[in-house]
Amino acid sequence: MTDFAATKEMFYLPKGMIYLDGNSLGPLPKATAARVEQAVTAEWGEKVITGWNRAGWMAQPTEYGDRIGRLIGAEAGHVVLGDTLSIKVYQALAAAIDLVPDRKVILTDSGNFPSDIYMAEGLIKSLGRGLELRVVAPEDVADHINDDLAVLMLTQVDYRTGRLHDMAALTAKAHAAGAVTVWDLAHTAGAMAVDLQGCNADFAVGCTYKYLNGGPGAPAFIYVAPRHIDTCQPALSGWLGHQAPFAFDLDYRPGTGIERMRVGTPSVLQMAALDSALNIWDAVDMQALRDASIMLTERFIAGVEAACPMLTLASPRDPQARGSQVSFAFEHGYAAMQACIARNLIGDFRAPNIMRFGFTPLFIDAGDVDHAVQIIADVMTNKLWDDPVYKQVSRVT
């Protein structure tokens, strides 16, 4: 699918809203309500417990995992869905650490999403093996890859700025130093093509409620490279990752292949919502998506910079060096974003001063970009943000 006018028709967007936040929570596909209704009434309602087999619920985490696998360049049978991204970060990092038992350093960057860092800290503490989390500036990561390194754990696209790490080069450098890699694709999956296999990545994780449109609470995913899958040890050894869950053995034996990265009961109703979103994704040409995304972000940057000299581009100017979001720094960014939202232009604010806009070609087109630029220009030029109602901070920004 390269016809994004057609995909735009497949999404419901509130009337008059320009939604530049599909990088944070993807909007609702029009087919989702009926698919979830079917899962509730025809599956849960009519099939009750037999739904695990007769509605295919038990197989969905790997079946749908493979559909995501196509978008991220994974080998078939190497992606499984479940839990939330924070949990998948923990699992991937624990398995990676285990592959390099003689080393102590985990390297990440200060642009990483805090939850990834918190999960790493928690894991290090409970392992009690003297592991060290080293957090360096994103541009310094390559220089810190050396023979001490156990695991390189990075989020490929920076959630604040959209800065894109070179997965192939950093993975190669980490491997040459004898380290293992964990890539977080939260802001890459569905934003642009990824080639996990071609990059020789070891582990990858991501969520499905951002660019992939699986809905709030949608399951996360984890990828394990074929060379590690039979040796890596699941730290979260739940029953559905067991070799034979229904043997109810008291001894844990890891399951075959990617099944071992399952933990417990999958969220079936969320899987139904995700299925309807993947029906759109299954047909998307990822190169065409990337081309459209670059066209949109370039148009947006040019428009905003021409109209709003008080905003400073916080994203890389080179489109090949950023994902599918554009951020501007502005001292009163929170209030300015609130003023945009009040005018039905939805982006988000990330502390301390970042106004962030996500570009999602499946439902955003050049006309939307031009309209968004007009609203931002109005808010900035006329100082519409300078109003107390826009300065009250809500729980979720």
Ligand X SMILES: *Cc1c(COP(=O)(O)O)cnc(C)c1O
- Residues with catalytic function: 113, 184, 209-210, 356
Answer for which of 21, 109, 116, 275 binds ligand X (CB under 6 A) is: 116
Least Å from the CB of residue 297 to ligand X? 18
How many CA atoms lie less than 13 Å away from 382 in the CB half-sphere?
A: 9
Residue 159 binds ligand X, judged by CB under 6 A = yes
Instruction: Provide the residue count of the chain.
Output: 397
Contact track, ligand X, 208-237, x by CB under 6 A = ------------x-----------------
Peptide bond into 352 cis (omega under 30): yes
Please give the Cα distance from 188 to 327 (Å, whole number): 16
User: 324 near 191, Cβ under 8 Å?
Assistant: yes
Is 173 a residue that touches ligand X (CB under 6 A)?
no
Does residue 187 touch ligand X according to CB under 6 A? yes
d(CA 340, CA 390): 10
By beta-carbon proximity to ligand X, the closer residue of 115 and 237 is: 115
From the CB of 340, what's the least distance to ligand X, in Å? Answer: 21
- What would the two tokens of residue 175 be? 């491997």
Strands 203-207 and 180-184: parallel
Q: How far is the CB of 203 from ligand X (least distance, A)?
A: 14
396: phi then psi, degrees, rounded to nearest 5 = -105, 125
Is 85 a binding residue for ligand X by CB under 6 A? The answer is yes
Q: Which is nearer to ligand X, 103 or 187 (CB)?
A: 187
Nearer to ligand X among residue 25 and residue 335 (C-beta):
25
The nearer residue to ligand X, 155 or 315, going by C-beta atoms, is 155
Residue 261 vs 308, nearer CB to ligand X: 261
d(CA 59, CA 266): 10
Burial of 275 (0-12, 13-18, 19+ CB in 10 A): buried
Which range, of 61-69, 79-87, 259-267, 270-278, touches ligand X by CB under 6 A? Answer: 79-87
Give CA–CA dist 87/111, Å, rounded: 19
In the complex, what is the shortest distance from the CB of residue 186 to ligand X, in angstroms, rounded to a whole number? 3
Please give the structure tokens belonging to residue 157: 């696209």
Stretch that binds ligand X, among 82-90, 92-100, 145-153, 316-324 (CB under 6 A): 82-90
Rule CB under 6 A: say whether 115 interacts with ligand X. yes
Nearest distance in Å: CB 205, ligand X: 8
Amino acid identity, residue 32?
T
Contact in structure between 281 and 67 (CB atoms under 8 Å): yes
Does 109 interact with ligand X (rule: CB under 6 A)?
A: no
Select from 35-43, 179-187, 296-304, 383-391 the region that touches ligand X (CB under 6 A).
179-187
Beta strands in the chain (DSSP E): 11-12, 18-19, 28-29, 79-82, 105-109, 132-136, 149-155, 180-184, 203-207, 220-224, 312-313, 325-329, 345-346, 348-350, 354-358
Among 10, 207, 222, 375, contact with ligand X (rule: CB under 6 A): 207
Where does this chain bind ligand X (CB under 6 A)?
84-86, 113, 115-116, 155, 159, 184, 186-187, 207, 220
